[in-house]
Amino acid sequence: MLLNLWYVAALESDVPSDRPLGVRMLGQDLVLFRDAEGVIRALSDVCVHRGGSLCRGKLQAGRVACPYHGWEFDGEGQCVRIPALGDEANLPKRARVDAYPVELRYGLVWVFIGDAKADERPPIPDTFAPYFESADWRCIAGKFHFPANWQRVMENGLDTAHVHFVHPAFGNPAAAKVEPAIIEESQWGAKTAHSFTAAAIENKSGASRAALEEAGRAAPGSRRPSSELQFHMSGLTIQILQTMAPGIAQCILSCDTPIDEHSTMAFWIQARTYKREPEHDADRAAMVTKVYEQDATVVCASRPAFVPDRELDELTIAADAMPMKLRAKIAALAARGWWIAGNGGNSDHGVRVLPSAARARDPEGWVLPTVQRA
């Protein structure tokens, strides 16, 4: 797993105003809470006193209070009150936990995990803004849990050939050839586009089928959908724009947060141009979930659980070009020392935490060590 990326920790709507929320990512526990101004904050969940779990505590005037002995931590991770020392006490500097920068974008809570300097950090991808901000697109959001490694999940999302075999409502196994496509690479990702022969209209359902039928695009051979596919390392984000017919399009953003090495939470937003009335939202959310379930069926059964270390242990073809671009980006970031080794060195005898930007500015005076790097 990689440090020094923005990751989606939650849907903004999941963060309550009256209590903290625990989230797990990169094999560690974080606590999210709203401070006195309602701004969402993210801290390491492990209290540095006796290891209490902060997300099981209470909100106290915009601070999170540990459930064990009531130490109160502010949004910067500084402990500002230790009840057992009394209100007049000088608190030790080491009474602090790592605090991670938070940004809200597209209704998602993005958290920067790592200690890279600000000018080394990748940005949050802005490619979804045209869909999220336009009244011509209707957006819905949700999440899907894969009991699978994040690289396996991402490679599936970037795999154009599987669509014909795994998603009957989109692909067409009788016309499954993947034509060579140009891939545009950027510093933090890559992008490609292609068109393909549509699935039979009988395979489609719900609002998209109705929209295509109303537009007279249901006849066989009348559609050759196009797809634009891109990824960005921040948020481990995949964005797929599908134009099913002129004026009938949908764009999905999937941010694949590793919960740990064996488990991934895909936070998704779907934008659509058709049937934009809210009454179609549940149907579209069910469709997105069904597509993820179809992916999970193949991904979770793939072996080994992690992408193999040796290329020789797989047979790669031209149609696998996008997943291979992802592997190259991951390898480049790992070579910068951003890879977390195994489970980060945690055990029943010692806890390690995810490093934060404050560690780079002020490396001394922390109680807990940070996760081990490869």
Position among 60, 69, 304, 336 found at the interface with ligand FES (CB under 6 A) = 69
Cα separation of 254 and 265, whole Å? 10
**Closer CB to ligand FES, residue 68 or residue 188?**
68
Cα separation of 344 and 63, whole Å? 28
Q: Where are the beta strands (DSSP E) in 45-122?
A: 58-60, 63-65, 72-73, 79-81, 99-100, 102-105, 108-113
> Binding partner of residue 117 among Fe ion, ligand FES, none, CB under 5 to 8 Å per kind?
none
Q: Does 75 bind ligand FES (CB under 6 A)?
A: no
Residues binding ligand FES: what is the number (CB under 6 A)?
Answer: 9
**Distance in Å from the first CA to the final CA of the chain:** 10
Identify the sign of the CA torsion 316, 317, 321, 322: negative
CB of 149 to ligand FES, least distance (A): 33
The region that residue 41 occupies, defined by phi over 0 for left and psi between -120 and 50 for alpha, beta otherwise, is beta
Position among 27, 30, 45, 52 found at the interface with ligand FES (CB under 6 A) = 52
Q: Does 295 bind Fe ion (CB under 5 A)?
A: yes
> Binding partner of residue 358 among Fe ion, ligand FES, none, CB under 5 to 8 Å per kind?
none
> Binding partner of residue 189 among ligand FES, Fe ion, none, CB under 5 to 8 Å per kind?
none
Cα separation of 93 and 277, whole Å? 54
Cβ distance 205 to 167 under 8 Å? Answer: no
CB of 8 to Fe ion, least distance (A): 19
> Binding partner of residue 295 among ligand FES, Fe ion, none, CB under 5 to 8 Å per kind?
Fe ion
Q: State the residue for tokens 């039928």.
A: 213
Other C-beta atoms within 10 Å of 36: how many? 11
Position among 30, 47, 251, 321 found at the interface with ligand FES (CB under 6 A) = 47
Position among 24, 68, 178, 183 found at the interface with ligand FES (CB under 6 A) = 68
Cα separation of 275 and 277, whole Å? 6
Binding site for ligand FES (CB under 6 A): 47, 49-52, 66, 68-69, 71
Binding site for Fe ion (CB under 5 A): 295
